[in-house]
Every structure is written in structure tokens, then in C-alpha cells.
A = this chain, B = another copy of it.
Amino acid sequence: MKLHVRFLLAFVLVAGVGTQALAQTDPLPSWNDGSAKTAINEFVHATTDQASPRFVPPEERIATFDQDGTLWVEHPIYTQVVYCLDRVPAVVKAKPELAKVEPFKTVLSGDRQAIAKLSIDDLLKIAAATLTGMNVDEFQAEAKKWLDTARDPRWKRPYTELTYLPMSEVLKYLRANGYRTYIVTGGGQDFVRVYSEELYGIPPEQVVGTAGGTSYGYDKNGRPFLTKEPKLLLNDNNAGKPEGIHLMIGRRPYAAFGNSTGDRQMLEYTKAGDGARLAMLVLHDDAKREYAYGPALGLPDTKVGTFTQALYDEATKQGWIVISMKNDWKRVFSWE
């Protein structure tokens, strides 16, 4: 019997006491004390304590996160745009006639200033040429290969290391409390899915993004495959975010995190629900550790993750919490 008891005790130590110890540790160690950290803690307690009048049943616990600028660095240029530009030579190699056609000609020239001036229409042409027309599996393999080797110009690190440690803590904290965490990104759904599970613990089925159609067909051995088509099904920006949430999740989130005007409707939609709802916006005001940009800081609009004064005013009016990267985050990156 003695041995039996010892076994039972060991079992309880692992299964029971372990959980208790976890609950007493600060789940947000990279956050400074302040209104942002307090808001997250209060939201979790209010929605998961069975005695709370604002308790949310586990099956309804959905939290949505924008990616670029909210979970990882977006400045000065979205990672996916870098990928598309880097893919242009391979695309032109397969279709040499593109070498003399704009915007491919400019990209091949390597003239950084000219590339920076490409219009949205030009970028869409480049996106269509580099992100569609291939087998879904081939696309995943290519994107993965690129992510393994590409480095960002400032820190000389893989882009996959440019995730924000405090936000990773929020993801884990919410999941530990029964929330399903979703990415809801203006970026390409298939691109983000390539790394979301490894980087954030968010599986492909919990990535909602700008999505194109695919077409089902067969290879020469009769084996079926899907081809990525240049047909836009969902533009997951602005009003497209709540529309995408309805399409892919079918429930209104209880918490939503963003950092730009493209996230405004998602936060509005989240807060319009009953009970406790959390809406937060990351403000990039830390030129030293990351970047400072956007009209809300009196800085020029860089067209990447625009945080306008109007967005700041709406946040104040609606009770959305603005996260100051400079003041609220003790650490920005895990490797600091």
C-alpha cells in the first residue's frame, strides 16, 4: 500500500499541484504593470470565473489577433511583400516575356527607390504572379524554404524571430484559459498558415486571412491536387475582417487585438457583443527597440499599419485599450 500511496502522490503532484503553481505565476512577465496589463487580467478573470456575472462558456471563448504589426514586426514593409519581390526572378525565369513588362521590369532592376514607389495595383500584379498559379503544396514548400533563409535588414534575423514576446504571452495566457486564438490578417491566409503553428501555436484552421480561390484537378498520374487561382474570395481588411470572422469562425470574438485602421471594424464588431469584451490596439511608439510611426504620433503615414488620430479618438471613445509598446512592454523580443 505504501508504494501505491507514493505513486498516487506523484500523480497528484504532476496533475494537481502543477496546475496550481502555474496559476500563481504571472502569465504576462514581459508586460509592465499598467492599464493594458490590468485590462487583460481583468478580462480573463471576468470571463472564466464561474461565479462572474460575465462568465463565458468555454465553447464561445474566441480571441482574434491581427498579425502584421500586432504579433510581429510589419515596418518598414510587410514580410509577405518582401517574399513576393524575392520570388519575381523565379517567376520571370519561368515566363521570360515578363522581364520587359512592368512592374516586373522595375523589380528586376533592383532600384530600391523605384521599387518603393510601386503602386498598390503594381503590388497586386506581383502578388498574383508570385502567389498563384501553382500547386498548394508547392507554394507551402517554397514559402517555407524562403522563411528558413531570408533575413530582415535591420536585425539580420529570420523574419520568424520578429514576433513580439508580450503578445505571445497573451496568446498562451488566453489559451490556458480555454480561449481559441485566431489570426485574422489582411495578409495572405495561405502564407501565414505556413508558419503560424510553429510561431504562435495557431494551427492553419485558425488562420483567417485574405484568401484566393483554388481549383481542384489531377496530375498526369491521376493524383488530385489544388491550384492557387488569382481569384479573390475574401479581402480580409477593414469590413472584410468581421465578414471573414463570420465566414470562417461563425462566432463573434470576445477579445480582439489589432494595430491599425484595418482592424477598426473587427474591434467594433467584437465590442458590440454582450458581456465582457476586450479590444486592444498596439501603438508603435518605440523607435529605439522597434519603430515609431503613424499619424496618431504626429508622424507621417507610411501606409503600412496606419494608426490615425481618428482611430486613437475612437479607441478612447469606445473603451478600447491602446497598448504603448514603449511603456507597456518590458521586453519586445524574446532574444533581447
Contact = CB atoms under 8 A, between A and B. Distances in A.
A205 B249 contact: yes
Interface in A2-18: 5, 8-9, 11-12, 15-16
A144 to B, nearest CB: 14
A169 interface: no
A246 B59 contact: no
A4 B180 CA distance: 36
A212 to B, nearest CB: 9
Contact of A216 (B197, B233, B249, B265): B265
Contact of A215 (B216, B234, B243, B251): B243
B246 A248 contact: no
A3 to B, nearest CB: 13
Nearest to A226: B246
A154 interface: no
A250 B204 contact: yes
A269 interface: yes
A193 interface: yes
A247 interface: yes
A248 B207 CA distance: 9
A204 to B, nearest CB: 3
A300 interface: no
7 contacts: A11-B16, A15-B15, A59-B203, A204-B250, A214-B243, A216-B239, A226-B242
